[in-house]
Structures are given as structure tokens and as C-alpha cells.
Structure 1
């Protein structure tokens, strides 16, 4: 609930500090004293869109701070957590409006956008008045109001889930149909490309292997003759034979050389081993360079075929196997396309059926809740001197969506036999105020606790016993919670648990507004003024005392 409101340099308020309490808080004062400015200032700090120019004339900036008390399960805590803002039992909102129009907001000393402030305000404050287009008078919100009254979150969740599945099934079918149509348009290309790729069947990295083999075979003809000569020179008719003879001769002479040839013989033996190794390597190279000229032709043909196919499809040669798999998959999808479409169509029909069933259950729950709400409204309207008025919650078929397929509108008929119509078009100002109050009383259950309700002159146009009935409903509505009422009715003001008077004063040729909390004596004076006008009579004071006595 709202605990404190501090206003600095806003319109005709220079400095104002208000401490609010639970229960029914009443603000009274003459017309033009500044009561609406309080609401404008509160709306400003809550991020509501209102007047463009709020800064007091001559001031550099205007500033409003609002302090709210949050219960443990208050919905504002979830908004704070989602926005990454500090969460505690006390919520401090502050917003500054500079003279050049720039607005800056803070939540618990952290910078926050106007959007975050507005999301918080939805959990903190409800404003009701004759021009309330944010709440009960807005037909687009009537279905949400009825759902809140009906407490049908489970049915709503089921419809939302069924709608999401239905939408997903339809999207999958549409995507499959579009893909199938696209593939059918290129069916001839797919079949030809897959056949061509399957026929060639290029392997991964085959192009590099073929290129290496081709270059090797091309080089073989040029180098094989020299390698063959080298092989002959290393063989028995060449170096190997000569070294073998030399070794045989040296070994024959070694016994008579008294050891002088041993090192030479050892070196020659090692050289013979190396020569043998070289001969084997050269022979293996000659074997490797032995090829059939037809092999070169076949290698070149396949290499050029792979490269040509890669250019045709604008991919690297090594990507051809992956391309073949992709195109084969698309062709397979095309070939089983009719079967897939049939399966997806069955899924759409099942999703449609599940949504229809969930929406039907939701509609039935809404119809039952509408009957309960209409009966509750009849009970609430009687004490407000509107026992002949008829309130109806009309449920008609609407466009299917995640919230079901019902259109909901609150209609009224103010007199028996009179045609019914929209709430905000049929009722007069005073009647409208009472309809709104009765509707709010019906909707105000435990789920609304923690929300500060503000009624801006909702009792306008009524007086006497009817005004007293309005005040008593407001007092009942404030039980266990917090209600702020801006009123011109002494009957309503007398029922407030806390009373403030809004006055204008002139200082140095400047009009300023002040708000003063009233004690018992001051309340009597204020009620007497409201009853009699500028001149307070003894009779007005007596009437004021009687109102305060209840």
C-alpha cells in the first residue's frame, strides 16, 4: 500500500509531504484547490502518461517520490526481479521532470525506465473515476476483469497451451507445404543433380588424391630414364660389382698386410651396405613409376569431371559428397511429401479439436461467472439506490485466440424496460459512479489485497442517502486494504478513517497548494464548510457532528 508521497515543485505545489494510512483516506477541498494535482503527481511517479508540463513555474525541475509497502507475496516483487532491481519490503519510486521536459526515474535508487514504472503501477495502484479509460470503463478489458472475478487461471492456462500447440501445428503445416511447393518447382533439377552425383560418387578429398596421382604420372615419363641409368650404375655391372671386386681383392691381401687394410675393409663393407640400400630405394621408385598410359587418361578424366561438377554447383570439390547427401535428402522429402503433409494435417485437426474443447470449457466457466457477477451486482446496486437498474455481463462469440473465443462486455439498463447498452454510454455521471463502485466492490476480493485503490470524485452527482451509501461501500472496500478518495461529498468524507484538506494560498503573488491532515475539530470544520459553503452556520456544524458520529 502507499505509505508516503513527497512532491517538490510540481504545478502549484512547492513542497508537500504526505503520510498515508491503511483504510479509507479522504481528500477534500474546494474546486481548483489542487486535488487533481495530487493524482497527476502520483501518476507521474508511476510512469503514467499525462500532462506534458508539470514543473512549477520558475523551478528548475519537479520531483515526486512515492513509498509503498510490499507484502511477502506482492506482485510487484516479480516485476522487480524480472527487471533486475532490488527487492525489499519497502519500494521507493522517484521521478524527476526537468524544465526542458526530460524525465528520469529511479526504483530503489536504481535508474528505471517509464515502462518499468508503468508495469509496477499495474500491481500497486488502481484509479477509478468517471473518465477511467484504464480500467472498468474500457470494454477491451472486460474479459480480463471477468476472468479475474471467475478465478479460472487453470482453464485459461489450458486454452493458452492449446492455442500455442494449434498455432505451432499450423505453422509446421504451412512451412511443410511451402517447402514442398518449392521442391516441386525444382524437382527436375533435383532428380538430375542427384543422379549425376550418384553416378560420379566423388569421395572426400578424392580431388586432391587424383591431382597428386596425375602429377606423379606426368612427371614419371620425364624422370624414369635418368633413374634407370642411376639404377644400372649402382647395380652389379656398375658400382656394386666394382666395390665387390675391390673388397674381395683387399680381403685376399689382408693377411699379408699386417692389419693395415682392416679399416679400409670395414669402411668398404659399410659402403656396400649403404649402396645396397640405395639400390633398393631406386628400384622401388622405378616400380612406382611404372604405369599404364591408360591410367593417366582415366585419372585425368575423373579429376576433370569432379572439378567440373564442383563448378556447376558452385561448391568446393571436397564439398560434393555433402551436397549429394543434402540433395538426396531433399529429394527423399519431396518423394514422401504427400505422406508428411497428410500427417501434419492430422496434427492440425487434433490441435484444433483440443483447442475447441479447452475453449468450450473456458466459455462455460465464464458464463457461470457472469451469472454470479450479475447477481452480485444486483445485490450491491440496491444499497446505492439503484435497485431498479439492471447490470448484465454479455458473452458473445469472438475471434479465437490465446484467451479463448469469447467477447465480453458489461452492459446496463438504468430503468425497467429501457434498452441496455455499454456501461460508459448508458449511465449518467452519478449512475456511472455507482455502477463503477458496485462493480469494484464485487471484484475486490482477497486477490486484490496490496493494491491501493483511488477513486477520483466517483461520488459526483449523488447526495443525501445515496452519497451515504456510496461512502459506506467505500469504507467496506477499504477494510483490510487502502482506498484514497477525492470527494466533494460530506457524507463520504465523514466515513473516512483519515482526512486531508487541500487548500490554495497566495505567497508573493504566486498561487500554491497545501494539503493538511485534519484532527477531529478540523474535520468538523471542513464538513461544515462542505455542507454550507463559505459561511459556516451552527446548523452546518451540528450536521457535521452528526455525520461524524455515524
Structure 2
């Protein structure tokens, strides 16, 4: 749920911090006070489209921050964890929009892209307004709703289907690659043959270039190396040289240790050093004898390294990469040279996978059809509670093209079903796509009926209704109020409303107003308690002048709401 929203320098909001509670929170106030601006701020926080126009005049940037309490198994937590964002039981979403229109997005303090903010944000909150139908009004999203409703029954079958679908796509890609233009295939074969021949003629060996580099370095510096070794050897070995001096020192320490036993270990150290240095001198002499002075060999190495470098420029940055490339093109060449045989094998594989795919697709259709029947019954039940007992709701499974004719094209990543919600609101009228239902009041009730069922299946922590109750009154308004409260029992609900019946059901009532100071307008939010709540409900009832009669009516609405909550 959304625990707190902070907004600074956004539209007519100077600075605002709004805490939110569980259950139903309603936002009311005069037209133009800034109710929808608060919802706009939440929409931007969830990844909505922003622009410099949202920044309050005279400020450099607008800042919006929201604190959400969240279950650790929620999609948003799993996604954030994949991105390396530390999450306990809270998420902090933050978005800044500069006066130049640039967006800066953060989740728990870590910079993220707008796309990531949108993916996580929209899994937390579902915003729905009368004219912003969102996914419910988009036919291509209806299958997702149905699958969400039947998620438990679909899970294993859908997983198996999608695995087969990915396999079929890979095989189909291979077939398309082999079935390309004959001229292009012939040109590709010539190129592959040339490249493979060039690499094979080089007879490369793993790590050959590294070994040649070492050999070249030794040969190129052989004269200098010989001089250094010779001088080192001569300083150690010979009359009056290093070893003689150490030997004399050891002899002196031996005589001294006979006079002072404490010097014995020192004598042994120097004496051991003599033998170690003598062994080193012999090793230096052996290395001197092994040094090659071979300009011809050096030239051969240089030529070989130049050849390898030429191949690197074409086929890989290392000898290993060149050999790997040769292996790949050899396989591709073999595939193209044996194209007909390969195509036959692949087509047989694809045919077998498509048969399995069709079986799984039929299983998906069966599960969805059964779920659609249950969902339809549930929606009819919800509509009856909203005084739409004569409304007919139907989930339409559109005809799909023949699998035999279209092959893999008949399938999608979710099966072969194309689902759309249809509805008829009056007896004798034909069923029409839900997206084309025109009446605002009908849209409000249909949407609430469906949201009542889907809010739990969508996994969102909060649902926002922005004036979705427009166009209704009387007993329908009371039914909508009760339905919104029912949704709030399973999800946090924030609702902008002009209906006193809805406002009376609130667990938290926030009054939005605007003030003018220093020739600037700013918005403020006030939490209403019992007395002030009655005054606001009376204002909503009367519209102009609050009287004792409207206050009494407001009090009655609160009593009725309280009775409904306790029922």
C-alpha cells in the first residue's frame, strides 16, 4: 500500500506531504482545488509521461516521492532484487522532472530508467479514471485479465506451451535461414569456403601467438641478454671476484667462531650463502651457453606473428577466438552444402513440435473457457449488486485461422486464443465490445464490477479511482459506494469523488483546498474528523449553501455507512 506521498513544486502544489491509511481514502474538494493534480503526481511517480509543464512556475524542478509497504513475494520486489536494489518491506519511488523536461528516477535511492520505474510502479498501483480506461478498455489486454483470473489452473500448461513455442520459433528461424535466396546462399558458401581455407592453411595452435611473442622477445634481445649474463657471471666467479670474497669471509668467521661460539650460526649462514651463490653462478653460465644468435629464426617468427595478426583483424582478437570462428563457419558451411537434407529434418521437427503445440493450445483454450464461464457468472453477480441486473456480459473467443494453413503463425506466445469482453446493457440490444460502451454511468458500474473481481488477481497494492462515479446518482450511487468499499477491503483504495455516498464510506477523508498567498496559488490537504466530515458531506449534498437539513442528511449518510461497515 501507499504509505506516504511527498510532492514539491508540482503544478500548483508548492510542498505537500500526504499520509495514507489502509482501506478506503477519499479525496474531495472544490473543482480546481488540485484533487486530480495529486493523482497526476502519483501517475508520474509510477512512470507516466512527464514534461517541463508540470514544474511549478519559477522552480528548477518538480519532486515526487512515494513510500510503499510491500510483501516480499510481490513482483515489484522480485524485479528490484534482480536489479541489485536492496528491499526489505518497503519501496521508495522517487521522480524528479527538471524545467528542461528531463526525468530522474530512483528506487530505494538507486538510479533506474523510466521503463524500470514504470514496470515496478504500475505493478503497485492501478489508476483508473472515467476517461482513462487503461488496460480494461484495451481489447488486447483482455486475455491477460482472463489468464490472471485463472492463473493457478493455467500455470503448468502455459509454461509447457511457452517452452514448445520457443522451440518452434528457433526451428522456424533455422528453416528461414536455410531457405534464403539461392544467389545469396551461393555467395555465402563461397565466402565461408574462402575464410575456412585461409584459417586452415595457417595451421594455428592454441596460445601459439603468446609463445611466439616470448621467443621473439628473447631472440630480439639475445645480444643484450648475453652481455648482462656474462658480466653477472664474471662478477661472481674468478680470482678476487664475489665468490672468493664470500669464501674468505666465511673462513674468517669460522676462525672467529672457534673463539666465540655465538658466531657459529653467523658463519653457517655466510658459508651456506657461498654455496648458493656458487650454484647461481653455474646456472648463469648455462643460460649464457643456451642463448641463440639466429637472425633467420627471428625473421621467421616475425613473419608468423604478422600472419596471425592479419587473421586476428578478420576473425577474432585471439587465436582461440579464430579457431572458434572456424568451427562455427565449418558447421554453417556443412549445413548450407547439405541444405535439402537439413531442411527436411528441420521441417519434420517443426511439424512434430506444432502437433504438440496444438495439443497444449487446446488445453489452454479449455482451461480459459471454463474460467471464462466462472468469471462471467461473477461479473453478472457484481452487476446485479450495482442495479444492472439486465446487463449481459460475455467473454468472446474469436475464431482463429487454420493451423494447417498458417503453421506457426497461427500461434502466439500465449496460445491461439483471442479474447475480448462484450456487453449489452439493455434488453434486446446486441452485445458490443466493452471498449465501445458509451454511457459514463454504465462505464463506471461495469468497471467497478470487473475491478471488484480483478483487483485481487492483479496483485496491485493500491487502486486509484479518479471520478469514476460520474453520471450516477440515487440508489446507484449508494451501490457504487458500497462496491468501492468492498474493493478497499482487499486493496488500498484512493478515490476522488463528488458523491457524498462514496465519501461517507471513507476510512480516511482528505479535503483538498487551495489558498492564495503573495499572488501565488498553492494546494493543501486536510484530514477530516467527524465534525468537519459532516460539513464537507453537507457541502457535497447541497452544492451551494450548507443548511441544518443538509447537515442532518450528511449525518444520516455517515450512520448508514457505519452500519454497512459493521454488517
Task: After TM superposition, give the deviation of residue 112 of structure 1 in Å.
Answer: 2.0
Query: In structure 2, the residue corresponding to 1:135 is in which secondary structure?
Result: helix
Question: Could you tell me how far apart the structure 2 residues matched to 1:203 and 1:11 are?
Answer: 70
Question: Could you tell me how far apart the structure 2 residues matched to 1:326 and 1:107 are?
Answer: 43
**Counterpart contact for 2:52–2:97, Cα < 8 Å:** no
Q: Which residue of 2 aligns with 1:441?
A: 452
**Counterpart contact for 1:11–1:37, Cα < 8 Å:** yes
Q: Which residue of 2 aligns with 1:404?
A: 415
Partner deviation per Cα, 1:245-270 (whole Å, 9 max, x = no partner): xxxxxxxxxxxxxxxxxxxxxxxxxx
Task: After TM superposition, give the deviation of residue 483 of structure 1 in Å.
Answer: 0.6
Q: Which residue of 2 aligns with 1:379?
A: 381
Q: Which residue of 1 aligns with 2:526?
A: 516
Residue among 462, 473, 491 paired with 2:483: 473
Tell which structure's C-alpha radius of gyration is larger. Answer: 1
Q: Which residue of 2 aligns with 1:489?
A: 499
Query: In structure 2, the residue corresponding to 1:157 is in which secondary structure?
Result: helix
The question of 1:414 aligning with 2:425 is answered yes
Q: Which residue of 1 aligns with 2:473?
A: 463
Partner deviation per Cα, 1:336-379 (whole Å, 9 max, x = no partner): 54333222111010011111111111112111111111111110
Partner deviation per Cα, 1:270-294 (whole Å, 9 max, x = no partner): xxxxxxxxxxxxxxxxxxxxxxxxx
Question: Could you tell me how far apart the structure 1 residues matched to 2:66 and 2:447 are?
Answer: 26
Computed over aligned residues only, the root mean square deviation of the Cα atoms, in angstroms, reads 3.2
> Counterparts of 1:66-215 in structure 2 under 5 Å?
66-151=66-151, 152-178=154-180
**Counterpart contact for 1:180–1:337, Cα < 8 Å:** no
Distance change >3 Å, CA 427–CA 414, structure 1 → 2: farther
Structure 2 stretches lacking a partner, 5+ long: 205-323, 401-409, 561-567
Question: Could you tell me how far apart the structure 1 residues matched to 2:16 and 2:474 are?
Answer: 33
Task: After TM superposition, give the deviation of residue 546 of structure 1 in Å.
Answer: 0.6
TM-score (norm 2): 0.70
**Counterpart contact for 1:43–1:50, Cα < 8 Å:** no
Distance change >3 Å, CA 486–CA 543, structure 1 → 2: same
The question of 1:533 aligning with 2:543 is answered yes
Distance change >3 Å, CA 187–CA 80, structure 1 → 2: closer
**Counterpart contact for 1:83–1:116, Cα < 8 Å:** no
Distance change >3 Å, CA 339–CA 24, structure 1 → 2: same
Distance change >3 Å, CA 533–CA 177, structure 1 → 2: closer
Question: Could you tell me how far apart the structure 1 residues matched to 2:176 and 2:107 are?
Answer: 46
TM-score (norm 1): 0.72
Q: Which residue of 1 aligns with 2:462?
A: 452
Q: Which residue of 1 aligns with 2:53?
A: 53
Task: After TM superposition, give the deviation of residue 183 of structure 1 in Å.
Answer: 6.3
Question: Could you tell me how far apart the structure 1 residues matched to 2:444 and 2:327 are?
Answer: 72
Question: Could you tell me how far apart the structure 2 residues matched to 1:83 and 1:161 are?
Answer: 25
Task: After TM superposition, give the deviation of residue 182 of structure 1 in Å.
Answer: 6.2
Distance change >3 Å, CA 164–CA 507, structure 1 → 2: same
Query: In structure 2, the residue corresponding to 1:68 is in which secondary structure?
Result: strand
Question: Could you tell me how far apart the structure 2 residues matched to 1:96 and 1:367 are?
Answer: 45
Task: After TM superposition, give the deviation of residue 520 of structure 1 in Å.
Answer: 0.9
Q: Which residue of 1 aligns with 2:4?
A: 4
Distance change >3 Å, CA 187–CA 163, structure 1 → 2: closer
Question: Could you tell me how far apart the structure 2 residues matched to 1:186 and 1:58 are?
Answer: 63
Distance change >3 Å, CA 25–CA 338, structure 1 → 2: same
Q: Which residue of 2 aligns with 1:26?
A: 26
Question: Could you tell me how far apart the structure 2 residues matched to 1:412 and 1:460 are?
Answer: 20
Distance change >3 Å, CA 102–CA 181, structure 1 → 2: closer
